Structure 1
């Protein structure tokens, strides 16, 4: 019997290693998004600093390990077998949930997931015990008071974090403004000294109780001198930073952000390591107690030992920290989660990851009305001064499209506030959600920084709501799935455990494929930027435009042909893939047109007129690709719903049309790639021929309808394909003419 439970302990630890890898991929956004978003240092430097913080911070997490043992339930009321069921259910659920959220790039909370998984699994087992022994109510098994305190603390942290981030960022911006370089000559060292002192104070002084390597005497000494530590640290850092700035023009903000990244990674490890290894370590202690108790059986040995104080060995914490640090460099999913947080806090305009929602629109309208009302009571002089501090500086001509999402000042505020809040909670042994805190601090600071203007507010708010909704979904899913898994393991025993482990493996491999597919989709939708930095000339734009347009037109011809042939063969798989590719191409053409603003800003003054032709070309390219979606999508919907196929005559006509489209597209690409438009009349003649052919096909179809030789759905699809093909040809010729004029103007200057 002991061997069975030993195997279960091994399984739990293997799941814990997987959970560490998956969890760090999710939580990497918590401590690197500010440094990456502000471009404070190269990516490898940021990750190295974060990895060092995670590794060292793991040694400060010993005091948090009690959360997994007794915070959500009373261990003395459960037998050894019950505890093993609970812990196994928690680990299986946690790995599946976190990996799914990572695959979709949504930042979720490992703290919330572990808390609700423990609660769900414990409730499941407690219900069984209550059913078997009705004299003991379920309230005797569940630590409801502590559970409610933890859950309410996590929810309150959302409000506190958002508010703190907004207030501190607003005050900081009012003091320094967006043009903070001049004021930093005098105040930069003070700001940096305070920021570094605040983070180190809360990490070292307030988090010392959880350090497994410190003796009680050393902890007492640090506690007794914490005020002196704060004063000496502030004065010392301020003096050092001022000297470095005066002598070497040292970048205080970049250094502050890197220190903050280290501190936040350290705070994360100290607070969140329990989410990954707290349950396995508790399971190991339970197993040791079971083995060391003579004559004990799994169904009779109560687990009151888990309620006793615990001190985790330092080497175990450091091994876990090493795994987490290694994961930072190897996980491809981590950056997907980081991107969501950075995009929602971005200062500049651009493609929004989320759409609009009714709630977001209503909220924006309400805030606009409230802002106007409040501004009426603020003196004009004060209002003008504040507005001046929030004026964005003119971006440099050589600004890159992949520049910082926000400036270094906001990045430092994000890190300082988040690390202080998290370290404070750790010192109080509260499992604060690092995801909630860091994300909401970043959202509060972006709101205060006026990054959410009227052009982007509804999309950013919708994104925040989506992320918060994902958090609530995490809680509900974690509780429900852990509850069901605990019941399955309790009654199904080894058969259920085997089936669940197979499910875990399947889910991990499935989400891995989903992540790779998502990355491939993003690669398709990536528009290559100009190879040179700084200002660009008309010839550079023309060359890039030539490449982009020819690539899109080749794909339009290919996808149009695939649509017709796969629809004729009733090949659902190919047509479904083609539909997805066509939709991606339409999004790509839309993104190319949306990037016009960035391109025009970088144009040399003497080439500004060429932008008119560039805009025309991309407009017609967008319309050409868009027409294709109205050919492919209806064809897929028709085939997928198993409607009647086209008649033989209709298929012959469409295949003839397909060949004509392929020919004209090939000629159009040749003209554009060569830059020689002497043969443009050949394309114009081919277009006229195609339009006449389409008119003939439409006339024949109307005759079939008159004679009732075709169904309504088939007729509507056929006519729709003809209409969209006609529109596509009209836009194609306009595209070629616009490109010809663009090339002529760029070459001759008129």
Structure 2
């Protein structure tokens, strides 16, 4: 009887390792964002500090392991077989859920996911047991489930989102009034007081949050809990004095020290608090197996009341888990994507916006503008001028090839992010309130960025949309985790053979997501975004624009050929795929045009000719991409509406046009890829001949209409393709002529 459960334990161990990887990829954002965004410390040193914090946190996490065993359901109400099914369902669902979020670069809460997975799978198994027992009604579900825990966590989500955002915004606002953006020039006593407050908060956080629940804390419990205020006061005096000496005598930037200590403390808290989310369930399964294995009782009849007892965690398992977390921290590309999302939404400057605005974000921004107008009407002008002066950013003159090194936000905001996250998590822990480190750290960062006026008129609607998307994802996590884990638990209970099938599905989806994410990352690396700050001269303009033209010509060539062939075959699925690729090309070209401001600013010198040339080229590229977009959508719509196929004569003409256009586009791509601009005249001659062919095809269709043509829909589509093809050719002609003129002038 034991063999299947041993195999389940092996599977859970493997799933735990995978869960550690995907979990760290998601949660690294909690403790790395502030340090990386501020560039206060080198990336290498940040990772070392975080790695040490993770290791310390892993050792101190034993007290949190009780959550997986008895925090969500009453183990005495379940048999050994039941809890093994629950644990398998939880781990399978957790890995898939977190990996999906990681692939999209969206931070979510591993705490909420594991809790609602435990809740969902336990509810389903409990309902199955109730339906099989005639003496129990559905109201007995409350005997199986600790519903108070779930209620507390839901309230904790709402409370942490609101409080963290509000407190972060208020503290950042007053911190900026004290420090301004010229924090290097502040008197030493301000640094001393700020450093004392920050280091005291973070130190208290490490003791309360990091050590609580460990054997170390039991030795200190009586002393700490009886003298909290005295300890905080003495720590504040010592830290303030130390901060003053470090800044005054040793000339150390106290904000850099705060960021380093804060990063360590949050990394420690993450491992100490969230390690249970990744290995708590497998360890609980191991404890369950050990208790059942020596009993000799049938697995469906052995009660798991033993899980309610406190069981010390194996220190070696914790250290192994810590090692896996550290390795993932250094190697995960998905972690970088999630970190990028947090930094992108809180950065001080303008740039590429990851999220698109929606109606809710527009309403929020308009409401905030109206509220701001009302507040400004009440506040005296002199006070407004004083406040605005504190928020005025200094002009930092750097060589253009160095401006890309500017941080996303400054040391003051990074310090406030870490301080407030530490304080709020400490308070919640001392009050035994359920809290998500992800929710707190993310919302504090959003609140501080808002208060710091990082969300200006140019970016507010995008940033608000991003925050709403992330928050929506958090609540979606709870719902999906509950439902998905319940379904998986039902399938496993239905037949244990579903376990290997589900594991194969997990392996397939994880592999697929990893491959897709790697492809997406490589595509991003290949893109040559215009928002950059390195030096660009006239030759750089030629290089930049040549790459764009070569790439667009090559892709239009493939897309046009696909449309013609798919239309000939009346293949709806392929036309749909082609239309998606066309839409992607349009988005990329639009992105280039949207960011032309950054390109012009990065020119070596003010060159009206180069700027005008680049703008013209992008305009023609946009015209070309819009032409292929119209052709693709018209073709897809025609086939999707089940209209008649084009006639043989029409398809023959289109394929001939496609062949000649393909030759031209191939030559264009090669010329600009190889920078062989002397061949431009030959290509211009070919396009003139192709335009004549397109005009001839239009005349042929006119003749068909007067003769045997009977389908108005075919005529509409055919004319649309030919006319847009003419526009496409003209756009290419304009590009070539503009390029030839500019290239000759630069020579």
**TM-score for the superposition, normalised by structure 2:** 0.91
Q: Contact 1:524–1:588 (CA<8 Å) still a contact in 2?
A: no
2 CA distance for matches of 1:728 and 1:685?
16
Map 1:467-546 → 2, pairs under 5 A: 467-492=470-495, 494-527=496-529, 535-546=535-546
How much does 1:420 deviate? Answer: 2.6
| Contact 2:211–2:217 under 8 Å retained in 1 | no
CA distance in 2, matches of 1:676, 1:309: 75
Give yes or no for the alignment of 1:129 onto 2:108. no
Tell me, yes or no, if the aligned pair for 1:271 and 1:422 is still in contact at 8 Å.
no
Corresponding residue number in structure 2 for 1:421: 424
Q: What's the offset of the Cα at 1:266? A: 0.9
Supply the RMSD in Å over aligned alpha carbons. 3.0
Distance between the aligned counterparts of 1:313 and 1:675, measured in 2?
Answer: 64
The offset of 1:696, in angstroms, is: 2.5
- Mean Cα deviation higher: 220-229 or 104-113: 220-229
Rounded Cα–Cα distance in structure 2 between residues aligned with 1:636 and 1:486: 42
1:614 match: 614
Q: Decide whether the 8 Å contact of 1:418 with 1:441 is kept in 2.
A: yes
The alpha-carbon distance between structure 1 residues 281 and 541, as it changes in their structure 2 partners (threshold 3 A), is same
What residue in structure 1 maps to residue 194 of structure 2?
A: 191
- Post-superposition Cα deviations, 1:345-373, rounded to whole Å, max 9, x if no partner, equal 22222222221211111222222112211
Q: Distance between the aligned counterparts of 2:635 and 2:51, measured in 1?
A: 51
8 Å CA contact retained: 2:680, 2:740: no
After superposition, the Cα gap between the structure-2 partners of 1:288 and 1:675, relative to the gap in structure 1 and judged at 3 Å, is closer
- C-alpha contact 1:613 1:738 (8 A) present in aligned 2: yes
In the TM superposition, 1:18-167 aligns within 5 A as: 18-136=18-136, 137-167=140-170
Question: What's the offset of the Cα at 1:115?
Answer: 0.9
Map Cα deviations across residues 310-336 of structure 1 (whole Å, 9 max, x no partner). 432333222211111111122221112
C-alpha deviations, 1:525-573, integer Å up to 9, x for none? 443777xx76543343333333433343344344434443454466778
Question: What is the Cα deviation at residue 56 of structure 1?
Answer: 1.0
Cα distance in 1 between the residues matched to 2:115 and 2:368: 35
Instruction: Label 1:745 to 1:458 Cα distance change in 2 as closer, same or farther (>3 A).
Output: same
Provide Cα deviations, 1:446-469, integer angstroms capped at 9, x if missing partner. Answer: 211222222222222222222122
Aligned to 1:286: 288
**Contact persistence 2:209–2:269 (CA under 8 A):** no
Contact 1:33–1:338 (Cα < 8 Å) also in 2:
yes
Structure 1 residues 289 and 400 mapped into 2: Cα distance closer, same or farther (>3 Å)?
same
**Residues 638 and 339 of structure 1: CA distance in aligned 2, closer, same or farther (over 3 Å):** farther
Offset of residue 443 of structure 1 = 1.3
CA–CA separation in structure 2 for the residues paired with 1:408 and 1:716:
61
CA contact (8 A) 1:205 1:226 kept: no
When residues 188 and 595 of structure 1 are mapped into structure 2, their CA distance, relative to the original with a 3 A threshold, is farther
Q: 1:609 to 1:148 in 2, by over 3 A?
A: same
Whether the 8 Å contact between 1:165 and 1:417 is mirrored in structure 2 is yes
| Post-superposition offset of 1:116 | 0.8
Residue 267 of structure 1 deviates from its aligned partner by 1.0
Aligned partners of 1:360 and 1:321: how far apart in 2? 40
* Structure 1 residue 110 displacement after superposition: 0.9
Q: CA deviation at 1:714?
A: 3.1
Instruction: From the superposition, tell whether residues 681 and 522 of structure 1 become closer, same or farther in structure 2 (CA, over 3 Å).
Output: closer
Unaligned runs of 5+ in 1: none
- What SS is found at the alignment partner of 2:268? helix
Q: Which residue of 2 aligns with 1:202?
A: 205
Tell me how far 1:287 sits from its aligned partner: 2.0
Give the match's secondary structure for 1:333. helix
Structure 2 spans left out of the alignment, 5+ residues: none
Greater Cα shift, 465-474 or 183-192: 183-192
- Aligned residues of 1:527 and 1:588 also touching (Cα < 8 A): no
Q: Deviations over 1:190-236 (max 9, x none)?
A: 33343233112111245422224x16334434445655554454444
Once residues 730 and 248 of structure 1 are traced to their aligned partners in structure 2, the CA distance between those partners, rounded to angstroms, is 67
Which of these residues, 260, 263, 266, is aligned with residue 264 of structure 1? 266
Structure 1 CA distance for aligned equivalents of residues 689 and 579 of structure 2: 28
- Report the CA distance between 1:380 and its aligned residue: 1.4
Q: 1:42-84: per-residue Cα shift (whole Å, max 9, x none)?
A: 4333223222211111122222222222222222222222222
2:443 to 440, 445, 459: 440
**Partners in 1 of 2:418 and 2:484 — Cα distance?**
34
Q: Distance in 1 between matches of 2:499 and 2:662?
A: 56
Residues 1:176 and 2:179 aligned together: yes
Change in CA separation of 1:147 and 1:678 when aligned onto 2, cut-off 3 Å = closer
1:253 Cα deviation after fit: 2.9
* More off after superposition, 724-733 vs 471-480: 724-733
- C-alpha distance in 2 between matches for 1:120 and 1:675: 61
Instruction: Specify whether residues 682 and 150 from structure 1 end up closer, same or farther in structure 2 by C-alpha distance, changes over 3 A only.
Output: closer
- Identify the range of structure 1 (97-106 vs 188-197) with the bigger mean alpha-carbon deviation: 188-197
- In the alignment, which residue of structure 1 is the partner of 2:625? 625
Alpha-carbon contact 2:631-2:724 (below 8 Å) kept: yes
- Which moved further from structure 2: 497-506 or 235-244? 235-244
Q: What is the distance in 2 between the residues matched to 1:491 and 1:582?
A: 45
> Residues 604-648 of structure 1: CA distance to partner in whole angstroms, max 9, x if unpaired?
445355323322222222222332222334445555676544322
Q: Is this contact kept in 2: 1:537–1:607, CA < 8 A?
A: no
1:696-732 CA distance string (max 9 Å, x none): 3223223334445253443333222222222222222
Matched residue of 2:6: which SS? helix
Residue in 1 aligned with 2:338? 337
Structure 1 residue 159: Cα displacement: 1.0
Q: Determine the C-alpha separation between the residues in 2 that align with 1:248 and 1:694.
A: 77
Contact 2:25 2:328 in 1 (8 A): yes
Determine if contact 2:69/2:308 at 8 Å carries over to the other structure: yes
For residues 13 and 499 of structure 1, what CA distance do their matches in structure 2 show? Answer: 17
Aligned pairs, number: 742
573-582 or 691-700, which deviates more: 573-582
- Name the residue aligned to 2:347: 346
Q: 1:595 to 1:645 in 2, by over 3 A?
A: same
More deviation, 639-648/443-452: 639-648
Name the stretch that deviates more: 716-725 or 398-407. 398-407
| Distance verdict in 2 for CA 1:271–1:215, change over 3 Å | closer
Listed as ranges, the matches of 1:706-721 within 5 Å are 706-707=706-707, 709=709, 711-721=711-721
More displaced 10-residue stretch of structure 1: 584-593 or 354-363: 584-593
- What secondary structure does 1:334 align onto? helix
Instruction: Name the counterpart of 1:216.
Output: 218
Query: What is the TM-score normalised by the length of structure 1?
Result: 0.91
Contact 2:531 2:598 in 1 (8 A): no
Structure 1 residue 428 displacement after superposition: 4.7
Cα distance in 1 between the residues matched to 2:684 and 2:463: 46
Is the CA contact 1:69–1:75 (under 8 Å) kept in the aligned structure 2? Answer: yes
Asked if structure 1 preserves the Cα contact closer than 8 Å seen for 2:449 and 2:455, the reply is: yes
- Determine the structure 2 residue equivalent to 1:328: 329
Q: Secondary structure at the match of 2:88?
A: helix
